[in-house]
Structure formats: C-alpha cells, structure tokens
Structure 1
C-alpha cells in the first residue's frame, strides 16, 4: 500500500522546455508583438468571460450534475425497489424475502455507489496521464453514463435486482472519476481572478442534479410503481449530451505545455496580454515538478471535512451555492470555509438543544431553523470549496494523483459514515450531533492553522506558501469533515422523529 501511494504522489520528471519567450511589451498600449499569438476566443483577458469558456465549463459540469442526480435519485423509489426485491425473490425461491434480507439488499444497493466512487476517484491519476483532458472526460462520459442507466432501466424486464446493484456500482465509478476530473479541468481553464467563482460550479451542478432527482422522483412524475425504472435510467440523457459536446471543448494550456510539451498549442490557449505571464508561470511550475512535495494532507483533510459534517440528507438545498459563487472571490476560500465550519458547529449544538428540550412546542420551529442554518453554512464553504481548492494547492505534476487521493478519501468517508451512522443514532440519540460538532471544531482548528488562502494567487504563488516543508496531511482533514456534515440532517430527522 505504501509503495502504491509513493507511485501516485511523486510526479513525473519535468518535460524539456523550449527557450523562454521574448520579454513582454513595455507598454499596454503597444500593438501586439509578432512573437505573441493572436487573441484567443478562449481567454481574452485575465478577468473576462467568453462564450467559449462558459460552454467548456458548462459541458464539464454536466458530470457534476450526473453525480448529484445519481446521489439523490435512489431515495425517492425506496419502497418501490424494496417491493421489486421481494417480487424477484418470490419468483426465484417461491417465498417472500425476509425483512432483514431485504434491508441488506437495499443497503448494499445504496452503499455500492460509494465503493464505485472510491475506485473511480483513485483512477483519476491513471486516466489523467494516459490521455488528453477532453479524452479523459469523454471516456467515462460515454460508456458508464449509458450502460449503468440501461442496467437499471431493464432490471424489471429481466427480473434481476442484481442489475440495480451493478448499475449503482458503475454509477459510482463514473461519479468518482468526475469528482476529480471536473474540478481539475475547471481550475486549469479558468482565469486566475475567477478561478474561485468558477470552482463553485462543480458543487452547484451537484445540488442541481439532486434537485432534479427529487422533483422527478415525485409519485406524480416518475416515482410511481411503473415508472421508477425510467427514473433510474434517465441519467442516460445527460451522458449522451456530454459525449456530443466534449469533443468541442479545448485542452487546458497548462496541460498542453507541462504534460504534452506542446508549447505552441498552449500559447494559442492564452490571450495576447496574458500569454507571456501565463506561459512563464507554467514553465516555472514544470521546472519545479522534480522537487515537488506539496500538501496532499490539506487536500484530503478538506474533503474529509466535507463528508464528515453530516449534510447528506439535506444537501439538495442550493441557495447557499449561489451566495458562495459571489463571495468566494471576495472573502476568500479559507475565510468562507472557516465561517462555514463554525456556523455548522453552532447549528449542530443548537439541534442538540432542541432535541433535549423537545417537550416545548417552540423547539420544533427552532430545530427547523437550525437545520436550515446548517445547510446554508455547509453550502457557503465546506460544500463547494474542498472540491476546487485541492486543484489549486498542487502544481500540474502531482495534481492528478492528489485529486485521486483526496477524492478517494471523500468516498471512503462517505462509505464509512453510511454504514456507521444508523448505529450512532441508536447509541447516542439526540447527543449524536455532539459528535459532529467535535469533528467540526477539529476541522476549524486545522483549517485555521494549516490551510493557506489561495484567493487571487497563481499556482506558483500558492506553492510558495508551503516553502520546502511537505504538508501532505492538510487535504485529508477537509475531506473527512465533509462526510460527517453530510449526515447531520438525516440524524436530525431520525432522532427528532423517534423522540416525538
């Protein structure tokens, strides 16, 4: 295991570089020199947004939407799926399935999603190095996106609940890949001043996907006894759409120069005024890759802070994402993450108080307010920030491996919480939120002392924040915290329902 991690973490040797560019023009009013490429429609200036850039980002975020859709779609048809399991069991064994076995099959159908996600996220490192960016995105978008939908869609026709489980496994593989590829791609093609704002698009796509799944899962739409297979297979549509659009998306200039050594193609991907500065930064980053030992720990810790915070049952509220979209480049990633963690900790304590004082009628309203605040603070920081800040903490060389390890930690925490959470509720009752609050306080302290601010900084400037000391622990904490957050809402519903 240790050897495998070493293979992932240490980057490849730097690629040979051609002579540096001539110096940039001394005056901004001077005409474009002949040695610089013509203006590119992709990134014409350091802070402008073009239609081509928005098209590329929107196409990439379709993968995030699929992640959200497949996360939320399994909840609505639960009773229909249990009935299908029982019917299939009756046809095979001529007797009804026992409640314990039915629950086991159902739990396995849900949890297998996280297993696929773990494998998919850890595969990002391999796929990212073996193919160009658009090809890396195209492969998982083409096959798993369609096959897994067909597997679940035809499960009733084939009378096979194993097809549902297999479909969920492939779903997780697909989503695991895109939780690493999408933030990495978005971070590399976005202008530095807008990288934080665009970085929230991944989480926005996730919550929109969850919202779509919740709406389509209504009984009057696709959540009926006859239409639930269509609900599960509907994910084929965005997969096909993404396959059509991805070939028109560009590779990032950073990937072209550092990974493929295609300097001229990389120059075409930058604007006239930014060409010299961006290309010099990329070359310096490539030259430092041989001695790069950067903060893998921060990446993993950020993802853990997202998954260990208890938000799973209520993360389909997307209002906070829009606020984060405008705040992240003003307040900064670190500030918003700290504010979100602190607010969630206070909200968790407030929910504990409401459950302990449940005999008072007013506490029911306070509990609703506490849950809403919990979700709002989650979407302000711990929701979107861990996904894109990981891509900012690493240079081009170790970035794919770091995204793979951080994403795998996120999915691992997701799986662990999914299995342990029911027992935590049973053992702790209303005090279960104290566990979440303790984790949130721990991640707050870690973020305050270890996580640097990356707002408005280039990748090279961010790397200088760590000096020569390796800080691989930082990413692990942020991922663990997120998964605990994902389940606080569910605990509130279960504990409050049991108490009343």
Structure 2
C-alpha cells in the first residue's frame, strides 16, 4: 500500500519514511508506558483507560485525514499518538484485569488481552488488502477505522466497575470498593474480600511508597523486576515482530506466490493459537507454556534459516520456510505472546505493581523500537542467517526461564511476593503443590465464592 503523499519520493526515501513510521509508533509506546504507574495511581485504572481512548481517537483521526491535508507529518504524528495510546493500554489493561480476576481464572482472563490484540492485527491485515481498504483511494479510511473501537470502548467502559483493590488499598474508599465487589460478583456479603484487602493494605502502609527507582534499589523487588524485564524482552527479541513488520517480503523471498495472503494466514494462526493458550494456561501453568513456546520458536527459527539458505538450490524449501514461519507464530502465541503481559502483574503486590508495570512496559516497547529500526539492516547484512540471532536469544531466554522464573499458577499475590523473600526464584516452585493446597484466593471474586448469600 502506497500512501501517495509524496509521489516524487524515490525508493530510498520511501524506505526511510516507512522506517520512521514503524519506529515512531514504538517511541510513543516507550514514552507513555513509562508513565503507567503514575497515571494509574492518579486517575485510577478505569478512568485512565477511559481518558486514554482520547489519544486513540486523535491519532486515528490525524492518520485518516493526512492524505486530505497532503501532510506526511500528520501521518507520523498520528502514529506517535497511537503508539502512546498503546503504550498506556499495554500496562493499564493487564493491571486492571489482574486485579479483578479470580485466582483460578487470572491467567485465562489475562490472555484475553493478547487475544484482542492479535484479533485486531488480523482484521487490519484483511482490511488492508487492495480489494478492500488498502487501495490508493481508500487507505485513509483504513487508517481512520482506528477510531471505531475507541468509540465503542468509551461507550462501554463506564459500565465496568473500578478495581475494588485500587479503591480500598490505594484510595481507602471502602464503600465504593464494596459497591464494585457486589457488581462484579452479584453477591452482597463481601466481608471476606475486604478482610483480605485490609491485611494487604496494612502491610503496604508499613512500607515506603514504591517508586521506579526504589524497585531497582530494594533487594525485595530486584529479583522479580529482573524476571519481569527479561520476560518482556523474550517477547520482543524473539523475532516475531520482525516477521510481522516485514512478513510479506519474507514470503516473497521464500518464493510464495501470494505473499500478502500468506501473511494473513500467519495472522490467522496468531489468533488460533492464542485461543489454545487461553485454555492451557491454567492447566499447564505460565512457566511451562512459556518454555514450550520459546523452545518451539527456537527450533522453527533454525528450520527457517536452513530453508531460506537453501532456497536457490532446493526451490521446494519455500514450503518448509512457510511452515516454519507459521510454526514460529503458533509457538509465540502459546507462551511468549500472552504470558509476559499478565505475568508481571502477578509478580508484584498492590504497592509496587504500577511502577513494575511501567518498567516492564517500557522495556517491551524499547525492544520493539530496536527491532523495528534495526531488523532490516541486520537482515541485509546477514541474509537468511539473520534468524540464527533470534534462535540464540530464544535459547538464552529458555535457559533463564527454566532456572529463574517461578510458577505462579494457583498462587495468590501475597504468596508469590513472599516466595521471593523466602528463597531464590529457582526454588519457588518446588513446594507448588503445598502452596496450592493452602492457597486462598487473593482476589475479591474468589473470596466471595467461599461466602454465603445474604
């Protein structure tokens, strides 16, 4: 799809402009994600998400009107604003979902965030076909479609309750917290839930306010924040965004007859295996699925390299490379795609969680920026062997996950936090069975399940 804003531009200039478009989106995400902690504490989870939609509306409108105004700068600025929206949403949404979800469904509900993302990607890929909205005349409409889900969320989000944990623990608004609990559960007896939150609030009040700098300085948070950052890096440095940024050209080099449709096929695989992860995450656990995904992606990256390197001598390898790409995407959505987003929220209690989400989110978007800017140059330098770099990184993240990342399935927020204080992360899941037997739900919904109706 050509933008048609500067028809006199040469090929090199267009590539430079495309690189700026890709990069400026990540820059917006980097800057805004670092503010997630402050904004979520100041406005609250729900109000922050609601106001954040204004960024999406403004950014989508600017991109949609850029051709009419003959302004490439409007497109760049719109991409930046949309990136800022996504940076905030990538922290606010998992935080909100994690705080209102019951322990038994925390992973599955957290995966819905990723499912919404990949569904949006697939819809955009389909609408971007030349026969639909990807033509020279209609691409501004495609850019403007961004405002539609924004309007929908602005209409529906006011009907969702604010996080009761935020209201009670952070704002000390017991009455509003009770109201939110009753709306979430349909029950009137919320005493058990408030007792649990009261204990967490008591412990939090005894500690100093946790800032971003304090998370790095404090030995209590150093180990979980390192895990959080590396989990986010394992998502972005896996190479999956390199595939989606430049998927069509990769399929062309692989000899695929219709590379655009093959890219849409990869998007469909993206959605399908996110659903698979949705059903497996509470059965197999976060750690197991993450390692399975990393290992599978590493194998697919090696197969992809062999196939692309031998393509000229063995044309049939184009089919192998295509299957390797589909497998790479499938394994990504089994583990590294959805899990890091909600796993970070599980590693921290209510006090340090906003700052931790900001740090992890900024790490994710920074890595996204690096891949978006650097992959094409590295690919030109390394040729078909570029994915061996990602294979090596995936192997490193797999080893790190095996030795340092604990399992959080079935554990309360307090149990997870206490585990880091008692023992190294590599030992935390040795007593998983005992923890699950002794565990009580950490969220409002789970506690109310033990109560009785009035």
Q: Tell me the TM-score range normalised by the shorter chain.
A: 0.7 to 0.9
* Post-superposition CA distance 1:461-490 (Å, at most 9, x none): 11122016798xxxxxxxxxxxxxxxxxxx
- 2:68 corresponds in structure 1 to 157
Asked if 1:166 is matched to 2:120, the reply is: no
2:231 is equivalent to residue 231 of structure 1 = no
1:132, CA displacement in angstroms? 2.2
Unaligned runs of 5+ in 2: 211-219, 245-265, 426-454
**Corresponding residue to 1:306 among 219, 227, 235:** 235
Q: Following superposition of structure 1 onto structure 2, how do residues 383-394 of structure 1 map, counting pairs within 5 Å?
A: 383-394=337-348
Alpha-carbon distance between aligned partners in 1 of 2:177 and 2:72, rounded to the nearest angstrom? 49
Aligned residues: 382
Task: Give the one of 340, 361, 385 matched to 1:407.
Answer: 361
Secondary structure of the 1:306 match is helix
CA distance in 1 between partners of 2:290 and 2:331 (Å): 9
Judged with a 3 Å threshold, the aligned counterparts in structure 2 of structure 1 residues 275 and 216 are, in CA distance, closer, same or farther, namely: same
The 2-side partners of 1:281 and 1:420 are apart by 48
The CA deviation string for residues 99-133 of structure 1, in whole angstroms up to 9 with x for no partner, is 33332222212210000011111111121111122
Aligned equivalent of 2:438: none
Q: Do residues 201 (structure 1) and 130 (structure 2) align?
A: no
1:85 aligns with 2:6: yes
For residue 335 of structure 1, what is the aligned residue in structure 2?
288
Question: Bigger CA drift: 419-428 or 179-188?
Answer: 419-428
Q: Is 2:348–2:417's contact at 8 Å kept on the other side of the alignment?
A: yes
Q: Are 1:152 and 1:167, in contact at CA under 8 Å, matched by a contact in 2?
A: yes
Q: Does 1:281 align with 2:196?
A: yes
Q: Pick from 102, 122, 128: which aligns with 1:191?
A: 102
Once the 2 structures are TM-superposed, how far is the Cα of residue 225 of structure 1 from its aligned partner? 1.1
Q: How does 1:92-491 map to 2 (within 5 A)?
A: 96-141=8-53, 143-270=54-181, 275-289=190-204, 290=207, 293-294=220-221, 295-312=224-241, 313-314=243-244, 316=267, 317-358=270-311, 359-467=313-421
Q: What secondary structure, in the 3-state scheme, does the structure 2 residue paired with 1:84 have? A: coil
Deviation at 1:274, TM superposition (A): 8.1
Q: Would you say the 8 A contact 1:281–1:460 is kept in 2?
A: no
2 CA distance for matches of 1:238 and 1:355?
39
**Native 8 Å contact 2:345 2:353 kept in 1:** yes
- Stretch deviating more after TM superposition (256-265 or 377-386): 256-265
* CA–CA distance in structure 2, aligned partners of residues 338 and 156 of structure 1: 45
Displacement after TM superposition at 1:282 (Å): 2.2
> C-alpha distance in 1, partners of 2:368/2:281?
25
Greater CA deviation, 150-159 or 287-296? 287-296
Measure how far apart 1:372 and its partner are: 1.5
CA distance in 1, matches of 2:342, 2:188: 26
Residue 28 of structure 1 corresponds to none
What RMSD, in angstroms, separates the aligned Cα atoms of the two structures? 1.9
1:274 and 1:339 map into 2 onto residues whose CA distance is 41
Once the two structures are TM-superposed, the CA of residue 364 in structure 1 deviates from its matched residue by 2.3
Deviations 1:281-317 (A, max 9, x none): 3233223331773211111111110000011234632
Of 434-443 and 357-366, deviating more is 357-366
TM-score when normalising by structure 1: 0.73
Tell me the distance in 2 between the aligned counterparts of 1:274 and 1:303: 39
SS in 2 for 1:397: coil
Question: Deviation digits for residues 225-284 of structure 1, max 9, x if unmatched?
Answer: 111111101111111111111111101111111111112332344455984443333233
Once residues 236 and 164 of structure 2 are traced to their aligned partners in structure 1, the CA distance between those partners, rounded to angstroms, is 32
Instruction: Could you tell me which runs of 5 or more consecutive residues in structure 1 were left unpaired when the two chains were aligned.
Output: 1-76, 87-95, 472-500
Distance 1:259 1:337, change over 3 A: same
Report if the CA contact (8 A) 2:46-2:163 is conserved. Answer: no
1:200 alignment partner, SS class: helix
- 8 Å CA contact retained: 2:19, 2:372: no
CA deviation string 1:75-113 (max 9, x = no partner): xx3xx21x3222xxxxxxxxx334333322222122100
Q: Aligned partners of 1:357, 1:374: CA distance in 2, in Å?
A: 19
Q: Which runs of 4+ in 1 moved over 4 A?
A: 271-274, 468-471
